[in-house]
Structure 1
Amino acid sequence: MLNELKSLSGLKNGIEEELSSSFTHAPNEFYKALIRVKEEVIDGEAPILDDITYTKVFSDKVIAFIETKDFKDKIAEYIEKYDELVDSSTYFKRGVFNHNNASVIAKNLKDNGFFDAKHSVSLNSDGEKKEISTQKELEEVISHEKEAILNNPDLSKAFDALDSKLKANKELRDFRDYLMENKKILPELANLDLFKKKLWVSYLKRSKDTYSELEKEHSKGKEEIELIVKEAKREETSWRSVIDIFNKRFSVPFQLSVDNQEDVILKSDGPSIKFTFKDSDNSKSINEPELLRVLSNGEKRALYILNIIFEVEARKSRGQKTLFIVDDIADSFDYKNKYAIVEYLKDISTFNDFYQILLTHNFDFYRTVCGRLDMGREHKLHTIKNNDEVILVQEKYQNSPFHHWKRNLDRNNAMLIASIPFVRNIAEYSDDNDSLTKLTSLLHIKSDTHSLKISDIENVHKDVLKNHTNLDLPNKDKLVTDVIFEEADRITGDEGEQIDLEGKIVLAIAIRLKAEAHMISSINDQEFVDSITSNQTFKLYRKYLELGLGDNERLDLLGQVNLMTPENIHINSFMYEPILDMSNKSLVGLYESTKNILTC
């Protein structure tokens, strides 16, 4: 079909778009356009403009010229004169039987052997009939009438007025030459849209057999497609499952649906996602760029997860063995969506062809994943990094470390020191101010810091930890600060060994105490120090800066201490990943520097 239309129209490319636009005003509705003109194509009448070449008329420069007011005025004058001549013609009548129609009829009669069968036609003129019994006679009458009209002096004068406008450039001069040979199209130029339609219908009439075959195949295929779509819509497809997973699990202010369901089924297109934004009262369809402008970063990340789910479900349907490496996927999510991700990872873990390596710095997410995915001890690993390698070691504390610490307070000094901030939190929540004050003196330099003994910690722990009333710590008369610094030195001296959570807490406490001791000594204002009731490290640091104390090296070091230690030392049972996330090397280096540089 396209090859035949190329030959008739002169177009090498873009036939589908041109024909579609002529009848539907859309460039991608080729079959709709073909079906729309079906009745005209198969009405049995012969084509009247099939000898006109589309490209000779419909070029950009020619169309632009025809659309000018000057040309429109001149063509209107030509058509007016032409209509007058047709009305005064012996045999032609405007709108029903002009020279174009007459030529087509003569050709039809010849093609169908009308005169060979000894038939004749009668031409009527003012009540007088002229009998025509041969093809030649009919063609002569039509040619005579046509010449009388087209060569009329007044019509020629109107054409000359048009002709004078068609000399501006080569493209227009070529069009002028084409008009000279095909004056019959001049009346068509008054309505280019209608002219286009007439040309395409004429071409399709010329290719009627091919057109009919194509139309038949298309109709047959359309029926089959409709059956396929009907059946496919009843099936649960993978993309529908993905949409349901996302809508049910993720907490976002929009709902998803697929907008091109038939194309997904029939053409293997990717689903085109439709977004419906919802608030408490209303809902509104919205495009993706608009949606992204109003979503939070966490909501945007949730939307990104949709792409991952599509890929996962596709691999699941193919039974494709896959290793998923999931790297800090929960960052920037609120808790609702974080747990939705965990549940989806759990679903993935149940599929035999899927394997996962989960990486995270978020200890809360780590604990949640381990619990929800029912991981065994051998599957939960921590990393130790040094200058040469990254080592994977089995996690020591599978759940909460505090239960283990409480059982070993009398046997492990690191665990005893690490328990101080934890027990301090319990004392604070219990309004046990005496215990709170005493333990605070071991996390900040206070007037009694260097006089507190192991026995003092024992008494506080007995008061706060109700199930430890029989606690019996060794070395009761030893100063707690001495134990803290001895443990810190021991930990930093064990080069290459893993530093557990309790060891990191010991280092953080030792670092802060040394830093505060240096700042208090340098500030030398005990009244100011005693007035501090909260955020002591930061307030000492600010005073240190105000007084212009310390060189650049000390200021830089104190800045690091001030940034690191508050979050790491104020540890509780819910959140202790900041200190876990800090590398062994960083903590050891910071302790060594405070010990060597921040002297009192």
Structure 2
Amino acid sequence: MKEELHIQFENCFGIGKLDHLFDFSISNSYLIYAPNGTMKTSFAKTFDLISKNDSKQKPSDRIYKNRITKYEVLIENKEINPEDILVINAEDNNFDASSKISSFLASKELKQEYDSIYKELNDNKVEFIKKLKIISQSTDCETEFINTFSEDENANFFEVLNQQIINLKAKFEKFDFRYNDVFDRKGNVKKFLDKNKTILDQYINDYKNIISKSRFFKDSTDNTFGTYQANVIIKSIEDNSFFQAGHKFVLEDGTEIENVENLKSIIQDEIQNILNDEKLKASFEKVDKAIGANAELRSFKNVLEKNNLILIKLKDYEKFKQEIWINYFSEIKEEAIELLDFYKSKKARLEKIISDAKKEFTLWKNIVTTFNSRFHVPFKVNIINQEDIILKQETANLNFDYSDRGKEPIKQTRDNLLSILSKGEQRAYFILHFLFEIEARKLKQSRDLLIFDDVADSFDYKNKFAIIEYIKEIHEKNDFKVIILTHNFDFYRTITSRLYLNRDVIYMTTKNSENEITLHKGEYVNDVFSYFIKKFKKEKFFISLIAFVRNLIEYSESKNNQDYLILTSCLHRKEESENLLAKDIFKIFQKKLIFLKDKAIDFGEENLIQLIIKTADSIKSDDSNEIALENKICLAVAIRLETEKYLINKLPDFDLKAINKNQTQVLFKEYCKKYPDSQNSLKIDKVNLMTPENIHINAFMFEPLIDMSMIHLMNLYKEIKSLN
């Protein structure tokens, strides 16, 4: 059964027009080699915007905005679902798929039950937090409460509440200040208290000195009897029933108290005595002056102006913070107990779900393990708080341990890690996130379309083969439809061989003057040199072999080798060049290439230079294959020879024998000296820019040749021919 993907793009970024049909019933994967500037980025970007389905971000021609854009992608004649497209681009540093880990709960029933329980718990917690916020006036009750009682940043609200529930009180103290006015998020109050410890200690000592003389309040090493304790007593006897029963209070100095009003009066007098104490006032003025110098403490200053005795509590900042929260929660103690009971009733089932899920929850662990073993990078990845990922339904925390030179690993944050990694190492990091996304999409079982956009670019060879191995595994399964884009010729050939791709699913792209894109059958997936040798009887291939064999002699023998020098004469106008015959060159081929030892050519008697020019003319006049390497090599050699012919004619007195290397460059410099105003200099300069890589095929890397436009080479050949 066919599974056809039909793409029709018009005026999508750099693509003028592209109309192509991919049949994924014959292969899970297609490979497209696109030379730089052809269509790769525009193709990937168009698919990426289709996948995002954002009405404000659509494919278009960003320069000529009046051009009508078309971006139609059909699967079996039906419009593709944007959610079924994923463009994998390792340059996309905004992509984060770690949240996909929670979707690896393979059992749909478990996931649904978990989601239901979690929603109930969360809804109840939200309602409780609303009440708590009214009491505390804190900007973030949940976080503040957790951080007050736990140093674990991933602590669970319910578990912290469970630890503190026994400390909640039936009788609680109310505070008349906003929580964040004293316990501010930036920690300015804490910094102030630490910085001004001396004057605060003076204030507290003066306070204790006054208390020691009070007939009512007392402060001892073990316990304190202060305003809070006095108010508790007043509340408990406010209806006077205590006194009506015949009881009374007798203070330490013998003073008898027989009614509530009398008690209140004594307490108020004692408080005023404390507040009006001149020494204590002087101590507080020092504190007040220090606060006044800090604009960020304005709210805290207002709190102290209402009740400066709060400074006594702030002597132990963290303890007072805990005391505050215990009193807040005590005010809604019944609701807190009810919420905690509900959590406990659901917790057992949640733990059972997690236990069951763990049996099916090894996939993401395997991703991390495989990544760590395959990719050669200076960090190891871990996923921390694994159970919390489910329990709290939060994004997974990826933990990175960086290590080099055999030192102990040091944990790094994401941002810090990326700042120290090389470009290739950063790409490996981002690939990890796409691996999570791909695994999560497998669960959909919808054969999503994956577009790999030069994912191995900037990788070293170890990491390049690591990502190729991933792609191979995806290709061999039936989970996805895959299109692999690259402008890296080595990657193109490696993918072809590693994935055992059929030639029918391998393409090379070309672009005409209207930016219309054509996908041609892929070439040069095997050894190009061997291919040329087998085609030696055709002039184009014979001429192309000159550069190959010359390089072969250079690598295996010496530049002083006579055969090397003769082949060099084929690429430059030397005295001996004009007399060389094709058969002279073929004899060298036969000596160096065993396959040609007993072979013959039909054009052996032809003058070599004339053969090269004639062959280049035939290529120029044909509607030539844009991709064919042999065409480009022949044109490049002919361009060089015609250029040197022109330069030598213009420099009749110049001694060619004096040139040891870089003949074209040397001649060009002499030409520029003699004809500084010549308009032809620009044309000749283009020869130096465009042809060296095509003639000197160093290391047999053919990417420069394939990327070179045939149109540009043919136009340059015409220009240079016109000079002569």
Do these two structures clear the TM 0.5 threshold for a shared fold by scoring above it? yes
Partner of 2:613: 485
Deviations 1:490-516 (A, max 9, x none): 111113654622111110110111122
Counterparts of 1:373 and 1:56, CA distance in 2: 63
Partner of 2:213: 84
- Determine if contact 1:258/1:274 at 8 Å carries over to the other structure: yes
Partner of 1:248: 373
Equivalent residue in structure 1 for 2:263, among 142, 145, 149: 142
Establish whether residue 349 from structure 1 lines up as the match of residue 475 from structure 2: yes
Counterparts of 1:234 and 1:70, CA distance in 2: 61
Classify 1:525/1:40 alpha carbon distance in 2 versus 1 (closer, same or farther; 3 Å): same
Counterparts of 2:483 and 2:222, CA distance in 1: 83
Partner of 2:329: 204
Establish whether residue 55 from structure 1 lines up as the match of residue 178 from structure 2: yes
Establish whether residue 435 from structure 1 lines up as the match of residue 556 from structure 2: no
Partner of 1:41: 168
Partner of 2:686: 560
Counterparts of 1:552 and 1:274, CA distance in 2: 64
Establish whether residue 447 from structure 1 lines up as the match of residue 447 from structure 2: no
Q: How does 1:367-406 map to 2 (within 5 A)?
A: 367-388=493-514, 389-406=516-533
- Determine if contact 1:75/1:189 at 8 Å carries over to the other structure: no
- Determine if contact 2:148/2:322 at 8 Å carries over to the other structure: yes
Higher helix share: 1
Shift of 1:267: 4.0
Counterparts of 2:393 and 2:217, CA distance in 1: 63
Counterparts of 1:421 and 1:236, CA distance in 2: 57
User: Structure 2: 5+ residue runs without aligned partners?
Assistant: 1-127
Partner of 1:420: 546
User: Structure 1: 5+ residue runs without aligned partners?
Assistant: none
SS at match of 1:318: coil
Amino acid at match of 1:282: K
Partner of 1:494: 622
Partner of 1:271: 396
% same residue: 32
Counterparts of 2:613 and 2:568, CA distance in 1: 17
Classify 1:536/1:247 alpha carbon distance in 2 versus 1 (closer, same or farther; 3 Å): farther
Classify 1:78/1:553 alpha carbon distance in 2 versus 1 (closer, same or farther; 3 Å): same
Classify 1:510/1:40 alpha carbon distance in 2 versus 1 (closer, same or farther; 3 Å): same
Deviations 1:511-544 (A, max 9, x none): 11112222333344553x2133333333333444
Classify 1:548/1:21 alpha carbon distance in 2 versus 1 (closer, same or farther; 3 Å): same
Partner of 1:537: 664
Deviations 1:431-486 (A, max 9, x none): 49333222221112221111111221332233222232332322432211111111
Shift of 1:588: 0.6
Partner of 2:141: 15
Shift of 1:595: 0.9
Classify 1:326/1:516 alpha carbon distance in 2 versus 1 (closer, same or farther; 3 Å): farther
- Determine if contact 1:382/1:393 at 8 Å carries over to the other structure: yes
Partner of 1:257: 382
SS at match of 1:358: strand
Classify 1:322/1:541 alpha carbon distance in 2 versus 1 (closer, same or farther; 3 Å): farther
Classify 1:539/1:288 alpha carbon distance in 2 versus 1 (closer, same or farther; 3 Å): farther
Shift of 1:80: 3.3
Amino acid at match of 1:566: P
- Determine if contact 1:256/1:276 at 8 Å carries over to the other structure: yes
Q: How does 1:573-584 map to 2 (within 5 A)?
A: 574-584=700-710
SS at match of 2:526: coil
Counterparts of 1:560 and 1:7, CA distance in 2: 76
Partner of 2:457: 331
Classify 1:223/1:520 alpha carbon distance in 2 versus 1 (closer, same or farther; 3 Å): farther
Equivalent residue in structure 2 for 1:520, among 640, 648, 653: 648
- Determine if contact 1:86/1:94 at 8 Å carries over to the other structure: no
Deviations 1:27-66 (A, max 9, x none): 9865566455433325x6x32x23x4233994699979x9
Counterparts of 2:586 and 2:201, CA distance in 1: 106
Shift of 1:337: 1.9
Counterparts of 1:2 and 1:138, CA distance in 2: 41
- Determine if contact 1:325/1:358 at 8 Å carries over to the other structure: yes
Shift of 1:332: 2.2
Partner of 1:458: 586
- Determine if contact 1:328/1:359 at 8 Å carries over to the other structure: yes
Partner of 2:427: 301
Classify 1:592/1:123 alpha carbon distance in 2 versus 1 (closer, same or farther; 3 Å): same
Amino acid at match of 1:84: K
Partner of 2:712: 586
The farther-off stretch of 582-591 and 376-385 is 376-385
Amino acid at match of 1:149: E
SS at match of 2:691: helix
- Determine if contact 1:255/1:276 at 8 Å carries over to the other structure: yes
Counterparts of 2:455 and 2:284, CA distance in 1: 74
Counterparts of 2:553 and 2:305, CA distance in 1: 103
Partner of 1:473: 601
Shift of 1:207: 2.4
Shift of 1:209: 1.6
The farther-off stretch of 501-510 and 435-444 is 435-444
Deviations 1:97-122 (A, max 9, x none): 556435534644789x9969x97757
Shift of 1:18: 4.7
SS at match of 2:214: helix
Partner of 1:509: 637
- Determine if contact 1:106/1:138 at 8 Å carries over to the other structure: no
Counterparts of 1:149 and 1:93, CA distance in 2: 21
Classify 1:100/1:480 alpha carbon distance in 2 versus 1 (closer, same or farther; 3 Å): closer
Classify 1:32/1:512 alpha carbon distance in 2 versus 1 (closer, same or farther; 3 Å): same
Classify 1:277/1:575 alpha carbon distance in 2 versus 1 (closer, same or farther; 3 Å): same
Classify 1:406/1:101 alpha carbon distance in 2 versus 1 (closer, same or farther; 3 Å): closer
Shift of 1:6: 4.3
- Determine if contact 2:448/2:480 at 8 Å carries over to the other structure: yes
Counterparts of 2:350 and 2:282, CA distance in 1: 52
Counterparts of 2:378 and 2:312, CA distance in 1: 60
SS at match of 1:473: coil
Partner of 2:20: none
- Determine if contact 2:237/2:260 at 8 Å carries over to the other structure: no
- Determine if contact 2:207/2:280 at 8 Å carries over to the other structure: no
Deviations 1:360-381 (A, max 9, x none): 2322221111111111121122
Classify 1:20/1:573 alpha carbon distance in 2 versus 1 (closer, same or farther; 3 Å): closer
Counterparts of 2:444 and 2:504, CA distance in 1: 30
Counterparts of 2:278 and 2:347, CA distance in 1: 51
Shift of 1:147: 4.9
Counterparts of 2:629 and 2:448, CA distance in 1: 34
Classify 1:530/1:105 alpha carbon distance in 2 versus 1 (closer, same or farther; 3 Å): same
Shift of 1:263: 4.1
- Determine if contact 1:56/1:175 at 8 Å carries over to the other structure: no
SS at match of 1:441: helix
**Looking at CA atoms only, which structure, 1 or 2, has the larger radius of gyration?**
1
The farther-off stretch of 495-504 and 23-32 is 23-32
Counterparts of 1:483 and 1:580, CA distance in 2: 23
Classify 1:123/1:341 alpha carbon distance in 2 versus 1 (closer, same or farther; 3 Å): same
